[in-house]
């Protein structure tokens, strides 16, 4: 159990327009910080005013990308209370990430306690408008000043919060996806399953390429054969083909998304066939030609459920469901967001209450 000290600001920032939040633009009044020192462990948990902090220019995070992060949201329910969606899954994923990255991780219960504490402190920042939430960004950085490549002796765990609207400027409208067959995101034995900044930095070259071609995001193929679909830059990806829903298996090269996991659980509960077998991109394109590619959608904490309206692979373009959101995509979106925002009962036991 953390002993969190509070140093609260009296200079509160004005709140942004809730109907025009965008994603990751505004930040709240406070942040949570916990230090970690080799031989001592986690210490000095505190909630302090949100502000730039100083870091030694030789801090290892700045040179060797020794960092990891998480993303989750706090939701305001119709009666005004505030709740989280499966925060223990983010805590466990950070433990798995940090093990691979040689970073220290908080135990699940301390991570959840820290998230609840900062959200409760910032409760006035959890927006009310339809489709908005408070995005919570925990991260761990290696702070020791040292230029030799080895593990760091000091780290910080920090949480910042940002009131957000839709991740894509297109909102719930279908996004256009470019299938990347030149660059590679992840290989077996690498860091593909982790939420480390380096994975995202290395993906940008493809995102720029996709943007230049008029596409919003990249769909990555497996790194060995460039044959099987894996994930989109900021979300996992699902394909409904002839009644069965396919998504890439989490076997080390795909991020185990909390929204991905929740969609699979809902589909199984609804009796809809789900396959986590590897799916060749050629089968997706063929299914499109055969009229059997019924729906494609991405899932993620930031992106929620994002329908995909178009896929481009080499010289082939698959148009999905006439650019409309599919029926199953809609059902998943309504159910998931209904539970998250407290509009429908949480019969999956996914919600953690923060405060009234």
Whose CB is nearest to ligand COI?
Answer: 71
Q: Is 100 left (phi over 0), alpha (psi -120 to 50) or beta?
A: alpha
Q: Could you give the CA distance from residue 253 to residue 231 in angstroms, rounded to a whole number?
A: 9
Strand-strand pairing, 133-142 and 72-76: antiparallel
Task: Compose the 36-75 pattern: x for residues touching ligand COI by CB under 6 A, - for all others.
Answer: -----------------------------------x----
> Which positions from 190 through 219 interact with ligand COI, judged by CB under 6 A?
200
Task: Identify which of residues 64 and 200 has a Cβ nearer to ligand COI in the complex.
Answer: 200
Applying CB under 6 A, the span of 97-105, 245-253, 264-272, 294-302 interacting with ligand COI comes to: 294-302
Strands (E), the chain: 5-6, 30-37, 41-49, 67-69, 72-76, 82-85, 133-142, 154-164, 175-180, 217-221, 229-232, 235-241, 244-247, 274-275, 293-300, 304-313, 316-319, 351-355
Applying CB under 6 A, the span of 53-61, 181-189, 217-225, 297-305 interacting with ligand COI comes to: 297-305
Applying CB under 6 A, the span of 11-19, 106-114, 168-176, 300-308 interacting with ligand COI comes to: 300-308
Task: Compose the 233-272 pattern: x for residues touching ligand COI by CB under 6 A, - for all others.
Answer: -x--------------------------------------
Task: Identify which of residues 105 and 241 has a Cβ nearer to ligand COI in the complex.
Answer: 105
User: Any contact of residue 300 with ligand COI (CB under 6 A)?
Assistant: yes
Task: Identify which of residues 45 and 94 has a Cβ nearer to ligand COI in the complex.
Answer: 94
Cross-strand partners of 41? 37
Show the CA angle centred on residue 356, arms to residues 93 and 25, nearest 5°. 55
Task: Compose the 106-145 pattern: x for residues touching ligand COI by CB under 6 A, - for all others.
Answer: ----------------------------------------
DSSP 255-281: ---HHHHHHHHHHHHTT--EE-S--BH
Q: Could you give the CA distance from residue 24 to residue 39 in angstroms, rounded to a whole number?
A: 35
Q: Could you give the CA distance from residue 112 to residue 42 in angstroms, rounded to a whole number?
A: 15
Residues forming the site for ligand COI (CB under 6 A)? 71, 200, 234, 300-302
């Amino acid at each position: 159990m953390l002993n969190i000290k509070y140093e609260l600001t009296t200079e509160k920032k004005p709140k942004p327009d809730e109907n025009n939040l965008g994603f990751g633009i505004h930040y709240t009044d406070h942040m949570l910080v916990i230090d970690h020192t080799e031989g001592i462990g986690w210490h000095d948990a505190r909630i302090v005013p949100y502000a730039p902090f100083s870091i030694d220019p030789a801090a290892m995070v700045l040179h060797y990308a020794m960092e990891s992060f998480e993303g989750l949201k706090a939701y305001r329910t119709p009666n005004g209370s505030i709740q989280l969606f499966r925060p223990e899954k983010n805590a466990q994923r950070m433990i798995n990430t940090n093990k691979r990255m040689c970073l220290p991780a908080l135990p699940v219960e301390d991570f959840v306690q820290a998230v609840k504490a900062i959200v409760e402190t910032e409760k006035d920042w959890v927006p009310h408008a339809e489709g908005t939430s408070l995005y919570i960004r925990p991260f761990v950085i290696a702070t020791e000043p040292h230029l030799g490549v080895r593990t760091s002796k000091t780290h910080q765990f920090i949480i910042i919060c940002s009131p957000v609207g839709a991740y894509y400027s297109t909102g719930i409208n279908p996004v256009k996806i470019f299938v990347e067959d030149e660059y590679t995101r992840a290989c077996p034995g690498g860091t593909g399953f982790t939420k480390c900044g380096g994975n995202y930095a290395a993906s940008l070259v493809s995102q720029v390429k996709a943007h230049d071609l008029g596409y919003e995001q990249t769909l990555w193929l497996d790194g060995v054969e460039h044959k099987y679909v894996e994930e989109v830059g900021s979300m996992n990806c699902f394909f409904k083909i002839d009644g069965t829903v396919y998504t890439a298996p989490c076997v080390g090269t795909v991020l185990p998304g909390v929204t991905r996991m929740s969609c699979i659980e809902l589909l199984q509960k609804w009796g809809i066939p789900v396959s986590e077998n590897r799916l060749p991109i050629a089968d997706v394109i063929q299914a499109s030609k055969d009229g059997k590619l019924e729906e494609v959608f991405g899932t993620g904490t930031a992106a929620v459920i994002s329908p995909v309206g178009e896929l481009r692979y080499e010289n082939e373009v698959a148009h999905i469901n006439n650019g409309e959101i599919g029926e199953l995509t809609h059902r998943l979106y309504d159910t998931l967001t209904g539970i998250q925002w407290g509009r429908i009962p949480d019969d999956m036991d996914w919600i953690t209450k923060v405060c009234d």
